[in-house]
Each structure stands twice: as structure tokens, then as C-alpha cells.
Chains A and B, each alone.
Chain A
Amino acid sequence: MDSTEISSPEVTDLGGAFERHLALSVVPPRWKEWKRKHWDHYRELPMPRPREQSWRFASRIDFDPGGITLPSLAEVESSFPEIVGQSDLVREQAGRLVFVDNHLADRTELPAELVEKGVVFQPLLEAMERDPDLVERYLFQESTNLGSEKFHALHNAYTEGGYLLHVPDNVEVDLPFVVHHWHAMAGAGVFPHILVVAGRNSRLSVVDVQQSWQPDREGFICAVGNVFAADGARVFRKTIQNFNPRAVSFQLDTNNVERDTTVRSINLNLGSRRARFENEVRINGSGADVKLYSLTVAKDHQEFDQRTLQIHNAPHATSDLLYKNALLDESRTIFSGLIKVAEEAQETDAYQTNRNLLLNEQAQANSLPGLEIEANDVKCSHGATTSQLDPEELFYFLQRGIPRRVAQQLMVFGFFEEVIEQFDHEELEENLRALIREQFSGDVLAQPTPGAHAEPEETPAS
């Protein structure tokens, strides 16, 4: 295992690291009080244990979130030009922010037309100065109910690098807002805070890209994303997580969904030694339409732990979840999803699908799909499947002269395509396919298959 593994999962206080952070922090005094409160809360909460339902199947906590450092601006500044140069996953954009280890490294000016319409797309610190009322209405209003309360509190105590995106009522923005959150220094704690506030009948899309600058530096990243979609809003949120394989990452998201909204959230998960993703959707208004997609490609000893909650509190709403995982090597995935339909939420349509593709015998997929239904006039279902590549399909390819290795690649990428095309952005989709292919480099699918005799060595058609 990696050297981030420590013998005791006890929380260390780091000889007053938090106190130092608080002394150096430039946030307003009010915010400092919040920090202190969240820090105390963090210290009170117990470390999650595997026997808890919300941590079932997860491996024990083998990292020490107290052992992080918070690199200063002076320490990371020199890396900015290079990192900003690499922040190019989406070129066509309404605006872009780049954060490196919690510090703002670069920003583009928002088009004047959007500024006039009242669109706010700013680092949190700046937004707090300009429009404290708006920020305070949404900042730290949410927590998680899915098991990582302690890490959420730690996030709240430390976070300063993050942004507020506010699109006012009736404003529609075609191009995506793009934010890069980079982990750069060894042992850094990174706490991206993502606040997306969509006004009535507004429309927006936002892409969060989370990456490591270096391939081998440890890090602890705990991101929190809160979406507030007012009546009739259309929000499309895309998240790419590709930290290096020594990082430990958390993504703790909530979505507050009101009447007649359309909310899409899509996640591509490739990186981290262990990554936990919690996503909670609360449908509070009728007519809402929510779609949640995720694609994970796990390799080596990676562990991806996904916990979702679809809460229907209002009638006539739809939510649909599709989480797909492909597992290589000795990787593990956990999908635990719950649909909760309140007694008032009649005529709910809620679905949940988890598909796991095992590409190696040692890989392990765990599914915990769940339903809790208190209304009676509903259509709810969940489905979970775990299987290998279908030998009959493979036979069909082979019969037509397609080499085994190529056939397997085609089948695997076919499995991903259902989710990738949901990104609904050609440039991004192409870049993501390339990222996924990298995940496969060095894998058995890129090697000649042992035992497959007399098959020509060909490069796969791409």
C-alpha cells in the first residue's frame, strides 16, 4: 500500500495547525468564528467505523486528515504558470477559475454582457467582500447525511479556496463555467468549496475539474458542492475527479431542487487512492426532473466509495440515477444508493441503476441499492448488475475477425459510452475519452491476451 497509510487512525491536532491557519487566514472575523465552530464540531465527531451502515464495505480509515499541511501562497506561486497552462480541458467557456492548493492562480474576466445581467462567478473570498448577504445565505448551510459528517466539518473549518456561481432569475448562459481545482504540494490539504445558485428560470452549466499537478505527491482533498436550483432553473453540473493515485479524496455534494427544475449531475471518477463521493438530492418542488450519472474506471488498488440519496419530498417529480463502474486489477467499488419517497410525494418516478463491469478476478464490486417508500402512488425501481464482458458478444467479434484485444476494448468503451455521451459537450467528451484511455495504459487490455493463440498484433482502432 501507499506510504500515506498510517498505523493509527487517530486524529492528531498537529501541534496547533488549525490555530496557525486561523491566525494567518484573511477571512472576515465572522467567518473566523464559523471556522472555530466547525473545527470544534470536527473534533467532537467520532471517526467513522466500518461497522456503521454508511461505511459498510469501505476499508477502514487509513489516513490521518489531521496530518495535512496548508501550503502558503509563496510556496505554490511558482507552479502557477505551468498549472494554468494545463488547465485546458474545456476551451470554450463563459469563464474560468483556477485554484492551486486553495489559492486562486488564474481567472478570466466574465463577459461584460453577463456581468450586466448580474451573473456572479467569483472566488468565495472575493464574493464575501462584494456581496456578503448573498454568500451568507448559502455558505455552510448544508452538511452531509451520508456518513462523512466529520470530514465535512473539517472542510468547513479550513475551506477558503472555492467559488460562488450565481445566475440570477431568467438569465440563461450557454457556455459552461469552468473551474480547475488542483492539488500541488506534497501532503497538502485541499478544500474546494463549490456554491452554485441558480435563480428562477435561469440556465447554466458548470464543469469542475479536480486534478493533481504531480503524479506522486500525497494529498487529502475534501470538496463540498452545494447546488441551489430555484423554480424552473436548469442546472447542469459536470465533475471530473482525476487526482494522482496517492491522494485521498472526498466529494460531498448536495442538491436542493425546487419546482419544475431540470437538474443534471454527471461525474467521471478516475483518480485517488481512495475516493469517496456522497451525493444527496432533495426534491422539494413538484415537476422537478433530476438525472444523476457517474462513470468510474478503477484500477490497481483504488477504492471508489459512492453513496447517494434521492429524496422526494414533493409530488410529480422524477429522478433517475445511473452509476457505472468498470473495475480493473484489484480495485474495489462500493455503490450505496437510497431512494426515499415521503408520504406526500405521490406520483413520483424514481429510478436507480448500478452497473459494474469486472475486468479482473481480483476486482470487487459492492452494491447496496435501497428504497424507502412511504407514498403509494409511485413508480420506483432499482437495478444492480455485476458481470464480466459477455463471452457471446466477444465470440461474435472474434468470428468476424476482430482480434480479442480490440474486441475487448470496443466492448469496454461501449460500456462507458452511455455515460460519456451524457456530458453533451463534444470537446469535453473527446478529452475524457483520452483520459479514460490513459487509465487503461499498461492494462491487460493493452497487452496481447495470454492463451489467445494466433491472433495478429494490431493497434486498436480508435
Chain B
Amino acid sequence: MSDTDTQTIDIDRERGNFRYEVDYEYDAGTGLSEETIDYIANAKGEDEWITNFRKKALRVFNKLPLPTHWASRDLESIIFDKIRYYLSQGQMPSRSWDEVPDEVKETFERLGIPEQERKFLAGVEAQFDSEAAYSNMKEALRKEGVIFVGSSEGLKEHPEIFRKFFGKVIPTNDNKFAALNSAVFSGGSFIYVPPGVKVSQPLQAYFRINAESFGQFERTLIIADEGSEVTYMEGCTAPRFETSTLHSAVVELVALKGAKLQYITVQNWSDNVFNLVTKRGWAEEDAEVKWIDCNIGSRLTMKYPGVVLKGKRARGEVISIALANDGQHQDTGAKMVHQADETTSNIVSKSISVGEGRATYRGLVNMPDHLSGCKNNTECDALLINTNSRTDTYPAINVQGNGNSVQHEASVSKVSAEQIFYMRQRGLSEGEAMSLAVNGFVNDLVREFPMEYSVELKRLIDMEMEGSVG
């Protein structure tokens, strides 16, 4: 390892690094004010209650300070006045691939979306800047009553279902960026799975930032009704621009009694994206919410998926992999808020810091005094590749009550010289050995991802490690 490990690595994210000139039909311009909101509301033809909700959120956003008393000061480099908050070519997504505008189609073609379609996935929604460009779902699911639409369409067409939970899991004043999203949200998925329906194939969405200085603020709400099951996968990309770009989503999950909800994210943002996302789920009695999260790329990611365990025996899980490369800070973690007896939660987080990358784990586990029989297990392991890599761990654990137990363990290590030596002795190059060791480090988590994602992840890691010991 000795003299080679100061070499830095550049991850291959070229697959998403391209953009097209697009004539936008709607453009709210730069900066954020009540007028911006009026423009968005007008362009979308929204009901008055939504516009009021947005305006209230804007006031909260203006009032809340940046959380720099604990978070990275890099947040101060976001200039909210220079961001474009709404860009679209029309609100209603096309239902057939042929109707999608050519430039947008070409973008998604390169990202492999029709490819996914051919694989008979249950449903796909693709978001291009502010609005969904394409959305489709298998007819069989529609017949069973599954709703899979964009956020605007969801609030307009199915208010009786979505309004009840909209903004309830993550209130507007939860944090500054949740407030920002509540003010200018556009796009994202609204999903409803009726009682007892088990969606066997994952529903998918792709989020793509195409325009420079653009802020993407998608809003996702998934409701799994009693006894239902659903898996949702999202992928994110953006090309590399001169100026930085903001992605600030809000994702709310509701798993009613006995439901199972799984949310899978693979993000591969370019390294000038601020990715500041609020994600939280509710799990009622016997329900299960599971977040599987993979964070690669971006300049600063702040993302702490959480589960509020509201009903007896509810279960929450967060599985996360983060890879921080040069100039990147992956500030990720998990929150488990126990609110009922016999609830259990599990957090497994693995991070890899490469070059000057910095990976941070931040966690919260809360068990108040009226509860009994709750359990939490947290493991976070960090792997440091180069001598200038950095990792931090900041969990917060807060326990009271009867028969509750919590265990937290974190470790930091590097790939040992002995391991590398052992593999080199058997004829592997140093790069191959490193790649194998790193893949071994994350292997038990990678297996939790669906097949095509785990293959992709493995490939990404392989490429990284080849460079690391050049």
C-alpha cells in the first residue's frame, strides 16, 4: 500500500454527464418569492389550498436558519437567489414513449429507461427537471387499484387519498430544506397501494437534472394500505455544470397496519450537486418500512432516512452504502423514533472514503419512557482508502423505558496490508486485490439491492479501486 495510496481516484460517472438544449415552455426564472410560487401554481393550475400551503412554507423557509451549528458550512455557498425553481415542458406526463419530446427521450434513452421498460418492470416514471416526462404502469396494477402518478396529478385527481397524509410525515417546519421543498415542490411520485395488494415488481422512478443552476424539488408520497406490499426504486443523475445545482426532495412513506414498504435509492449525482433530502416513513402496527440507500457522487449529500414506529411491533430498517470521493462529503445516516411497544429497528451503514472524500454517519435512536420491549441495533463501519481520506461518526442515542435495549457499534478500518499481500501472492494485481477487499466490505449490503443495481454497484466499485493503486 505504502507509496501508492496517496494517489487519488476518479470515479466514472460519465454515463450521466451529458445534457441537451431544451426549449422550456415554463420557466419561473431565478430567485424565490411569492411571485415564483404564483407562477408555479398558475403553470400547474393548482387548487388554492396548495398555493396557500406553498406560501406558508416559503415564510417558514425564510425564517429558519441554515443548520450550520451542526452541519457543514458548505451549505452557506448555496445562493438561493441564483437558483431556477421551476422549469418544464408541460405538466402532464406522456403515457406512451412516442409522445415524449425528442431531446428528453434521447436523455432517457442514454440513461437506459426504455431498456428498463422492456424488462417488464411494474411502472416507470421519469422526471426531467421539474415535471415527469414519462410515466407508465402495467395495466394489471391499474386494475387492482394501484395509483402511481406525479405529485401534481396525485393532489389534483386523488385528493381524498393523498391530502390526508401530504405533509404529515414531514411537516413543513421540520427543517429549512423541507420547507423549501414544500414551497416549490414539483414532480415526484404519488403512489397508493390498496389493502392486501402485493406489488411483486418494483415501481421505478428516474430523476434527472438537465438545466444549469436548477433546483429539483420533487415530492414523493407513498401510501401502502393495510396488508399491502410495495417496493419503489429511484435513480438520480445530473450532468456536470459550471455552477452548482440543488436537489432537495421530500419523501414521505406511510405503511398502514401490516404493510411492507421498501424504498431503494441509487444516486449518482455529479460532484457539484447539493443533495439535501428529507426522507421519513411511518410504520403502523406490524408494518415494516425499509430504506435501502446508496449514495455516490454529489458535492454534499445530507440525508438521514427515518422511520417513526407508531404501532406495536412495527419495524424499521435502514441499509446504506456511501462512497465519498475527492471534493465530496457524504453526510448520511438514519433516524429511528420508537413510539410503540415491541418495535424494532435496525441500521446498517457502510461508508468508503476515497482520496480526499469525507463520509459522515449521523444517527438518532429515540425510545421514550412509556415503552417496553423495544430494540435497536446499529452498526456503522467505515473504510478509509487513502491517507487523506476522512470519516466521522456522530450517533445520538436516547433511551428510557422498560425492557428496551439498544446497541450501537461503529468501527473504522483500512484494507489491511496482510489482506492485500495474501491476494497478491495468489496472483492478483494490487488493484484487483483492493477492489476485491472493498467489494467484500460492502458485499453483505450490496446483496440487499435488486440484481441490476447490485451488479452496477459492484462495477462502480471495481472501477474505483483500479484507479486507487494505479
B414→A385 contact, CB < 8 A: no
Q: Give CA–CA (A343, B393) in the complex, Å.
A: 16
List 25 A-B pairs, Cβ < 8 Å. A51-B69, A53-B69, A57-B396, A343-B387, A346-B387, A364-B398, A367-B395, A367-B398, A368-B395, A368-B397, A370-B392, A372-B390, A373-B384, A374-B388, A376-B389, A378-B414, A379-B411, A380-B413, A381-B411, A382-B410, A383-B408, A384-B395, A386-B406, A387-B407, A388-B402
B389 neighbours in A (Cβ, 8 Å): 374, 376
A376 neighbours in B (Cβ, 8 Å): 5, 384-389, 414
A366→B397 contact, CB < 8 A: yes
B70 neighbours in A (Cβ, 8 Å): 53
Q: Does A361 contact B (CB under 8 A)?
A: yes
With beta carbons under 8 angstroms apart, the residue of A370, A372, A384 that contacts B406 is A384
With A376-B5, A386-B405, A388-B403 given, is the CB distance from A369 to B398 under 8 Å?
Answer: no
A375 to chain B, nearest CB (A): 7
B385 neighbours in A (Cβ, 8 Å): 376
Q: Does B404 contact A (CB under 8 A)?
A: yes
A346 neighbours in B (Cβ, 8 Å): 387
With beta carbons under 8 angstroms apart, the residue of A356, A361, A362, A381 that contacts B410 is A381
A142 to chain B, nearest CB (A): 25
Q: Does A136 contact B (CB under 8 A)?
A: no
Q: Which 9 A-B pairs have the closest CB atoms?
A: A376-B384, A387-B405, A367-B397, A381-B411, A386-B399, A371-B393, A380-B412, A361-B402, A384-B408
Given A365-B397, A377-B387, A387-B405, 20 more contacts at CB 8 Å?
A51-B69, A53-B69, A361-B400, A365-B399, A366-B397, A368-B397, A370-B395, A371-B392, A372-B392, A376-B386, A376-B387, A376-B388, A378-B413, A381-B410, A381-B411, A382-B408, A384-B397, A384-B407, A388-B403, A391-B403
A231 to chain B, nearest CB (A): 26
Residue-wise, chain B 399-430 has the 8 Å CB interface mask toward A (1 for contact) of 11111111111111110000000000000000
B102 neighbours in A (Cβ, 8 Å): none
Q: Give CA–CA (A425, B96) in the complex, Å.
A: 81
Q: Does B394 contact A (CB under 8 A)?
A: yes
Q: Give CA–CA (A51, B65) in the complex, Å.
A: 13
Q: Does B109 contact A (CB under 8 A)?
A: no
B413 neighbours in A (Cβ, 8 Å): 378-380
B60 neighbours in A (Cβ, 8 Å): none
With beta carbons under 8 angstroms apart, the residue of B391, B397, B410 that contacts A386 is B397
Q: Does B35 contact A (CB under 8 A)?
A: no
The number of residues on chain A lying at the interface, defined by a beta carbon within 8 Å of a beta carbon of chain B, is 38
A371 neighbours in B (Cβ, 8 Å): 382, 391-393, 410, 412
With beta carbons under 8 angstroms apart, the residue of A52, A363, A387 that contacts B400 is A363
Q: Does B456 contact A (CB under 8 A)?
A: no
Q: Does A358 contact B (CB under 8 A)?
A: yes
A382→B397 contact, CB < 8 A: no
The residues of A with any CB-CB pair to B shorter than 8 Å are: 51-53, 56-57, 343, 346, 356, 358, 361-388, 391
B387→A373 contact, CB < 8 A: no
Residue-wise, chain B 173-215 has the 8 Å CB interface mask toward A (1 for contact) of 0000000000000000000000000000000000000000000
A56 to chain B, nearest CB (A): 7
Q: Does B369 contact A (CB under 8 A)?
A: yes
B60 to chain A, nearest CB (A): 18
A380 neighbours in B (Cβ, 8 Å): 411-413
Q: Give CA–CA (A372, B401) in the complex, Å.
A: 31
A451 to chain B, nearest CB (A): 13
B407 neighbours in A (Cβ, 8 Å): 383-385, 387
B175 to chain A, nearest CB (A): 14
With beta carbons under 8 angstroms apart, the residue of B369, B395, B411 that contacts A364 is B369
A290 to chain B, nearest CB (A): 18
Q: Give CA–CA (A391, B405) in the complex, Å.
A: 12
A184 to chain B, nearest CB (A): 36
A356 neighbours in B (Cβ, 8 Å): 399
Q: Give CA–CA (A364, B370) in the complex, Å.
A: 11
A370→B393 contact, CB < 8 A: yes
Q: Give CA–CA (A376, B357) in the complex, Å.
A: 12
A230 to chain B, nearest CB (A): 29
Q: Give CA–CA (A377, B385) in the complex, Å.
A: 9
With beta carbons under 8 angstroms apart, the residue of A374, A377, A384 that contacts B414 is A377
B390→A374 contact, CB < 8 A: yes
B402 neighbours in A (Cβ, 8 Å): 361, 388
B346 to chain A, nearest CB (A): 15
B396→A368 contact, CB < 8 A: yes
B269 to chain A, nearest CB (A): 25
| Closest B residue, CB atoms, query A365 | B399
A384 neighbours in B (Cβ, 8 Å): 395, 397, 406-408
B406→A385 contact, CB < 8 A: yes
| Closest A residue, CB atoms, query B389 | A376
Q: Give CA–CA (A376, B389) in the complex, Å.
A: 7
B408→A370 contact, CB < 8 A: no
Q: Give CA–CA (A383, B406) in the complex, Å.
A: 10
A52 neighbours in B (Cβ, 8 Å): 69
| Closest B residue, CB atoms, query A52 | B69
B5 neighbours in A (Cβ, 8 Å): 376
A366→B396 contact, CB < 8 A: yes
Residue-wise, chain B 234-273 has the 8 Å CB interface mask toward A (1 for contact) of 0000000000000000000000000000000000000000
| Closest B residue, CB atoms, query A57 | B398
Q: Give CA–CA (A364, B394) in the complex, Å.
A: 19
A387→B384 contact, CB < 8 A: no
Q: Give CA–CA (A432, B70) in the complex, Å.
A: 39
With beta carbons under 8 angstroms apart, the residue of B387, B394, B396, B410 that contacts A375 is B387
B143 to chain A, nearest CB (A): 49
| Interface-centre pick from B386, B399, B404, B409 (highest chain A CB count, 10 A) | B399
B353 to chain A, nearest CB (A): 8
Q: Give CA–CA (A56, B390) in the complex, Å.
A: 24
B384 neighbours in A (Cβ, 8 Å): 373, 375-376, 378
